[in-house]
Chain A
């Protein structure tokens, strides 16, 4: 069963490499190839233990901006506090939030050990699409990962759901708690500065 999946996944993922920029969503196949491109590019550009960490982070950051609606995610994550934040705080936050994601996640690609993902299906709802996928890990259980995309001047990822858990909702809960305990958005910015400078 596993070997059949591998056979299916590998050519699928790599066949889509080099197709280039995905045009604004015309149908579900675009969302599907968008995610497949992302997977192939991530494996190609980010993995490997020999890649220097700063180069890995630079590439990760470039992909993050190309595939994800970072300003949109940032606003969602700051939630109700976005409104009350000053313009300077908003800009600070978006910049620090990106750094925080890069610092938190880029290093994980160094430990890549052959995970592949297989797209199971696509669901379209107006400007939104959900690409359902299964991450197949050697020697561990498969993980269900759903990618939420929005089409506004081109497809961008707005959320990743891992086994039903939304990463943006989780991040929002984390930041909301920090804002409450540290007396406002400025407190969160301080924490983010600390986390990203180390």
Chain B
């Protein structure tokens, strides 16, 4: 397996901590509350890496994804994604089990068995048609289910929005993935990572352009989106009845009534 990848991640984290220009905590109580809500003490550094990632995206990832999206017919793109998702099965299964989600673990096993055989090595998602739709899991979510807090917001070079919990999750997922041990080929690991990146980006070409166009502070918008999206994933798509408890809702909507 490629130890280099995890070493790179570790170096980046260390450098990030050392280079960190911290935001100063405001004195004004309103601003202070906003500062705490953003939970982003490393904001200046994060914004810097956000810009770097944005530039890299414009230069490399977005054009590659654009090519992928226009040059390859839809069924081919779906085949590639199905194949990549099938490769993720061991990691998803491990995290299903860590979280005690036995039904979902069963789905993951069933999906892997069916799609690897009838689905021609995972190119076709036959299992979804049989009532076992794809679901993702990762160790960041497992930590969240075990009540580990997310920690401050982080933007990781190349990888994008994260936090200490999700970054740890990424490293653990990488270390427990048996495929890298089985294949023992750096080219496979990098190729897989790159294809996953391009495929995901290709599916979000329009969405990200729209989000950027309809926001004033793209960075702050992405920070909010990342957190909310992760929380939804942690809840496994169950709607969050606590997201809007009636009380805070009323407070926020009817200030004058208070």
List residues of chain A with CB under 8 Å of any chain B CB: 1, 69, 72, 75-76, 79-84, 104-105, 108, 123, 125-126, 128, 130, 132, 139-141, 144, 146, 148, 150, 158-159, 161, 163-166, 169-170, 172-181, 188, 191-192, 195
Within 8 A of A (CB), among B225-257: 225, 228-229, 231-233, 235, 237, 239-241, 243-244, 246, 249, 252-255
Contacts A108-B210, A169-B224; A164 near B30 (Cβ below 8 A) = no
Interface residues on B, range: 35 or more
Expressed in whole angstroms, the Cα–Cα distance for A192 and B31 within the complex equals 20
B221: chain A residues at CB < 8 Å are 170, 173-174
Please tell me which one of the listed residues B30, B129, B217 contacts residue A178 in the complex, with CB atoms under 8 A apart: B217
Please tell me which one of the listed residues A76, A170, A178, A191 contacts residue B253 in the complex, with CB atoms under 8 A apart: A76
Smallest Cβ-Cβ distance to B243: which chain A residue: A166
Please tell me which one of the listed residues B26, B216, B228, B235 contacts residue A192 in the complex, with CB atoms under 8 A apart: B216
B253 touching A174 by the CB < 8 A rule?
no
For this complex, 14 residue pairs linking A to B, each with C-beta atoms less than 8 Å apart, are: A72-B253, A105-B214, A123-B239, A125-B246, A148-B244, A161-B239, A164-B231, A164-B237, A164-B240, A170-B224, A174-B220, A175-B216, A177-B38, A179-B34
Count of chain A to chain B residue pairs whose CB atoms are closer than 8 Å in the complex: 98
- Min C-beta distance of A154 to chain B, whole Å: 15
A176 touching B220 by the CB < 8 A rule?
yes
Please tell me which one of the listed residues B219, B239, B252 contacts residue A146 in the complex, with CB atoms under 8 A apart: B239
A176: chain B residues at CB < 8 Å are 34, 37-38, 220
- Min C-beta distance of A146 to chain B, whole Å: 7
A164 touching B235 by the CB < 8 A rule?
yes
A177 touching B228 by the CB < 8 A rule?
no
Asked if B18 is at the interface of the complex by the 8 Å CB criterion, the answer is no
B217 touching A181 by the CB < 8 A rule?
yes
Expressed in whole angstroms, the Cα–Cα distance for A125 and B242 within the complex equals 12
- Min C-beta distance of B73 to chain A, whole Å: 10
B 85-110 binary contact with A (CB < 8 Å = 1; else 0): 00000000000000000000000000
Please tell me which one of the listed residues B35, B217, B254 contacts residue A174 in the complex, with CB atoms under 8 A apart: B217
A166: chain B residues at CB < 8 Å are 228, 243
Apart from A125-B246, A195-B216, what 8 extra A-B contacts exist at CB < 8 Å? A125-B241, A158-B253, A164-B232, A165-B225, A174-B217, A176-B37, A177-B220, A180-B34
B 176-217 binary contact with A (CB < 8 Å = 1; else 0): 000000000000000000000000000100000010011111
Expressed in whole angstroms, the Cα–Cα distance for A181 and B224 within the complex equals 16
A174 touching B229 by the CB < 8 A rule?
no
A82 touching B255 by the CB < 8 A rule?
yes
Expressed in whole angstroms, the Cα–Cα distance for A144 and B238 within the complex equals 11
Contacts A104-B214, A105-B214, A166-B243; A173 near B224 (Cβ below 8 A) = yes
Expressed in whole angstroms, the Cα–Cα distance for A163 and B241 within the complex equals 15
A130: chain B residues at CB < 8 Å are 239
Asked if B148 is at the interface of the complex by the 8 Å CB criterion, the answer is no
A177 touching B219 by the CB < 8 A rule?
yes
A174 touching B215 by the CB < 8 A rule?
yes
A163 touching B229 by the CB < 8 A rule?
yes
Asked if B12 is at the interface of the complex by the 8 Å CB criterion, the answer is no
Expressed in whole angstroms, the Cα–Cα distance for A146 and B238 within the complex equals 12
B31: chain A residues at CB < 8 Å are 180
A178 touching B216 by the CB < 8 A rule?
yes
A173: chain B residues at CB < 8 Å are 38, 220-221, 223-224
Within 8 A of A (CB), among B5-38: 26, 30-31, 33-35, 37-38
Asked if B70 is at the interface of the complex by the 8 Å CB criterion, the answer is no
- Min C-beta distance of B145 to chain A, whole Å: 16
B220: chain A residues at CB < 8 Å are 173-174, 176-178
Smallest Cβ-Cβ distance to A123: which chain B residue: B239
Expressed in whole angstroms, the Cα–Cα distance for A72 and B252 within the complex equals 8
